[in-house]
Amino acid sequence: MTAAPLRLGIAGLGTVGVGVLKMIHKNAKIISLRTGRDIVVTAVSARSRSKDRGVDLSGFAWEDDPVALAKRDDVDIFVELMGGHEGPAKDATEAAIAAGKDVVTANKAMLAVHGQSLALAAEAAGQVIRFEAAVAGGIPVVKALTEGLAGNKINRVLGVMNGSCNYILTRMENAGLSYAEVFAEANALGYLEADPNLDVGGIDAAHKLALLAAIAFGTEVDFDSVVLEGIGAVTIEDIHAAADMGYRVKLLGVAQMTGRGLEQRMTPCLVPASSPLGQLEGGTNMVILEGDDSGQIVLRGSGAGEGPTASAVMSDVLDLARGLRLKTFGQPATTLVKAHPATTATPASFYLRLQLLDKPGALAKVAAVMGEAGVSIDRMRQYGHDAGKAPVLIVTHKTTRAAIDQVVLDFNQTQVVEAPPVALRIEAI
């Protein structure tokens, strides 16, 4: 090796931090050959020094304070793996930038909230922030957008970006279990965050979508404008009914620039069962990138876990070791425009599930309500009557969410709908 070793300071020794230590030790020779220099860890920081993490920490300097770690003279890259959008993670990241360090982070929440200000600070100081590990675990989607597809105008970014939610939805379908039953199972298996709403409420996935939208469309990160709905209201009845109509339910993130502004949605949607997203099982993630010249690019892989996320961290470290110094969001932060949030979503087909009272004229009243709102029916399926109730499924032609909301409101005035209707968007893939 002709170049001096690249020295890392790692703050946070949870699953990912330990994975990075293992990867550097296990693949040291490969890493050196691929970068032309050794990569070493000089110092670490975590909440507890005495905790047994299954790795030997005796060769590293220890700092109780991650800010002190970020300022050390023997650290070239500050690797932030603590998490949290405020507090020590943000303070230490800012300290590292001020001290002339590059930053590699897996912290989607911090970047979704403070990404613009941190990018401006880093670029003013001549430093780099990289965050491949913050989005979709081991899937190299940030690299795909900032490098592989850099010559394209991106038309749409969409995907399943939270493996825990995809596990719950596919487990419900395959085992015929309720949401509550599978939620409890996933929690017991440790698949959910300490605050489960970060997963099932869609917040974790929305952070990721906001970061990808900033890169894809050259806008400032705007997490607050993501239309957000979790999976808690999805029932096994919806999953079975959707399957009967040729669809599967996914917590789907979609970002696209339209004439109405930047559209960002993280909501339960129906996707065709035959599509790549429709075939996605378990805790796997999938991101689809649509470029004007590249066409549709499908990226699939593990969205979390020690190995995949550590792999993503190290991809950024190796880029820096090779001298690749891209701007945080793929272009200078000063050129990112403040996005105008779209006030309405792109028209789409919708799935409606109704529980009608078994009485003459019920379907006619439903059709009349939809006709008055300008919503036309593409397909309809009625099932056998059960205790005076008649389940009905409807797939509409393309329409707006506002029109669907009006239809649902008016259904409740017909006196033929026995339970609150369910409406889910059908996303074209």
Tell me the catalytic residues.
Answer: 208
Quickly list DSSP for 123-153: HHTT--EE-GGGSSTT--HHHIIIIITTTSP
Instruction: Report the alpha-carbon distance of residue 374 to residue 399 in Å, rounded.
Output: 8
Helices (H) and strands (E) in the chain, counts: 14, 16
Q: Which residue reads 């780099």 in tokens? A: 128
Instruction: Report the alpha-carbon distance of residue 234 to residue 232 in Å, rounded.
Output: 6
Quickly list DSSP for 232-297: TT--HHHHHHHHHTTEEEEEEEEEEEETTEEEEEEEEEEEETTSTTTT--TTEEEEEEEETTTEEE
Q: Which residue reads 């952070």 in tokens? A: 207
Helix axes 108-124, 88-98, angle to 10 degrees: 20
Cα of 380 vs its chain's centroid, Å = 33
In this structure, which amino acid lies at residue 69?
L
Listed residue (254, 286, 290) closest to 153, CA to CA = 290
